[in-house]
Chains A and B, each alone.
Chain A
């Protein structure tokens, strides 16, 4: 069957959009001093930033999975007004300006707040620590996992879960062996999105965790700082970030199409 064609004029704004989206990235690639990139990326500051970013983002992704999956499961079963409120609240950090997210974390967990003070008294001092980076990243990244997984759960059919239950599988077994494996592609793409978002996290980290080499100065913060003195290093770090992000986006797109059970 031949699908009715798109009107030809659609190509014009689409072309402009394509140029608009790719031009800045292409321009950056052209400006990168490629020969100096290996040297620029192996300075202690660059290596520290890269390693810190990868470590914190991995931890963030694990936290998103441990805490975000159960939340997505609950939200997918929720009905009515509270479900709508819950879903909205869970998505809110996605649309918050990063600085606002940082401020919100500060007034909730800052050292002068009740919660932050209690934690500090208990020996859990998160201020200016790597933990603060992970907290900031988790706050902004978790909604991506929750939204992705919750959507998959809600559109999934219940028939396999019913079949599993009547076959004697306890709720935990149903979850572990049927529900989660069936939405594995959505979980993976949600985790990749969360990782990518955590990797790009800047504003909340700067506001909430500060910026110190090896402790809280992640890749974006290092780029921000290097921009002040050494544009070449900033560009080299930027393309590194771009490369990781591109791989994640590509992986997400592949995963979002999903493993096909049925041909």
Chain B
């Protein structure tokens, strides 16, 4: 059953989205800034009107040529980086707000609110005022408040972005637990969020949906550079030769292991992923090695704690290599320098489109 169906355009934002989501799936929404991620959520919440097209939640058309359901009738609840707890109400009244607005009696709403608070582990905070909560507590209460209305869809716009790493990890697990089995969209920049909370992922780029699929499939075999980079891996594209060779450009090939889940085919376009840590760099090509050697030039250097990520330009494609600062110093790497990248064939995963 389809829970969400968006086929709509927002002309002023240069966004044109075609997107469907089955019921009960939590879909991570990723993409560069300005790709239209927030617009997608706002279209569903009713905070942005489509210039053309339709938006469906379940069987209900909530936005279309002649339809505009106001936000309060959509049952699409929005959770952002800002918990936006009502400062004049205590925590319990905040969570009871939705049920009260839906017509529940005061006592029923309180019971429901306590249940939701308990589910996110915040029942003991019921009597507090929002300003007495920590960031993580506030976000948990906001989640409880959102779920208390039994929404048809939960829209989450980077709900963990404002939190400390340790707190975020805690809240992330809470979110995963409470969202399991619900229909939800989660805008994020964190690959950890995808693995922990989402079952599916949609990549948005320049106002369009670039690719969608299950988290496991797309993270294992990304088809966009953005997703590969998010997953911390290199993505190279070319043409398959035989069963285990990717032809990148004239004189540049990469041998690897074919992914049995989506095997590449001879003569067809293919992709390869390589972990940056599996790439080593040499100033001169090492002779007589069975390993892959790729000639490239250094494009940039980015210190990352105990490693340095070296960006290489390999025949117009980008290949990242993680080196120790010591190696970078010994090789005297500077942008523009010609180097040879070496990768073991066992570290290369090949798959078809």
Q: Which residues of A contact B (CB under 8 A)?
A: 159-160, 162-171, 173-174, 177-178, 181-182, 184, 261-263
Contact = CB atoms under 8 A, between A and B. Distances in A.
Interface residues of B, number: 28
Interface string B233-249: 00000000000000000
B195 to A, nearest CB: 27
B86 interface: yes
The DSSP consensus for interface residues of chain A is helix
B68 to A, nearest CB: 13
Interface of B: 45-47, 70-78, 82, 84, 86-88, 97-98, 101-102, 129-131, 145-146, 149, 155
A168 B102 contact: yes
A103 B72 CA distance: 48
Given A167-B145, A170-B72, A261 B77 contact: no
A165, A168, A170, A182 — which one has the most chain B CB atoms within 10 A of its CB?
A168
A167 B97 contact: yes
Contacts of B78: 162-163, 166
Contact of B77 (A167, A171, A178): A167
Contacts of A261: 87-88, 129-131
Contacts of A162: 47, 71, 78, 84
Given A167-B145, A170-B72, A177-B97, A159 B84 contact: yes
Contacts of A177: 97, 101
B86 A160 contact: yes
A262 B101 contact: no
B47 A167 contact: no
Contacts of A167: 72, 77, 97-98, 101, 145-146, 149
A165, A167, A170, A171 — which one has the most chain B CB atoms within 10 A of its CB?
A167
Contacts of A178: 86
Given A160-B84, A165-B71, A170 B101 contact: yes
Nearest to A181: B88
Nearest to B71: A165
A24 B302 CA distance: 73
Given A162-B78, A262-B131, A168 B86 contact: no
A36 B86 CA distance: 53
Given A169-B72, A261-B88, A164 B101 contact: yes
Q: What are the 3 closest A-B residue pairs judged by CB atoms, nearest first?
A: A261-B87, A169-B101, A163-B84
A182 B84 CA distance: 13
28 contacts: A159-B82, A160-B84, A163-B78, A163-B84, A164-B86, A164-B97, A165-B70, A166-B46, A166-B72, A166-B74, A166-B76, A166-B78, A166-B155, A167-B77, A167-B101, A168-B72, A168-B75, A168-B101, A168-B149, A169-B97, A170-B72, A173-B72, A173-B101, A178-B86, A182-B86, A182-B88, A261-B87, A262-B131
A53 to B, nearest CB: 34
Contacts of B155: 166
Contacts of A166: 45-46, 71-72, 74, 76-78, 155
Given A167-B97, A173-B101, 10 more contacts: A159-B82, A166-B45, A166-B71, A166-B72, A167-B149, A168-B102, A169-B97, A177-B97, A261-B87, A262-B131
A263 B130 CA distance: 10
A260 to B, nearest CB: 8
A263 B131 contact: yes
Nearest to A182: B88
Given A159-B82, A170-B101, A177-B97, A165 B87 contact: no
B73, B76, B87, B130 — which one has the most chain A CB atoms within 10 A of its CB?
B87
A159 B70 CA distance: 16
A262 B73 CA distance: 31
B2 to A, nearest CB: 22
A165 B75 CA distance: 10
A77 to B, nearest CB: 15
Contacts of A170: 72, 101
Contacts of B47: 162
A17 B75 CA distance: 59
Given A261-B87, A261-B130, A165 B72 contact: yes
Contacts of B74: 166
A12 to B, nearest CB: 43
Contacts of B84: 159-160, 162-163
Contacts of B131: 261-263
A95 to B, nearest CB: 34
B98 A168 contact: yes
A162 B78 CA distance: 9
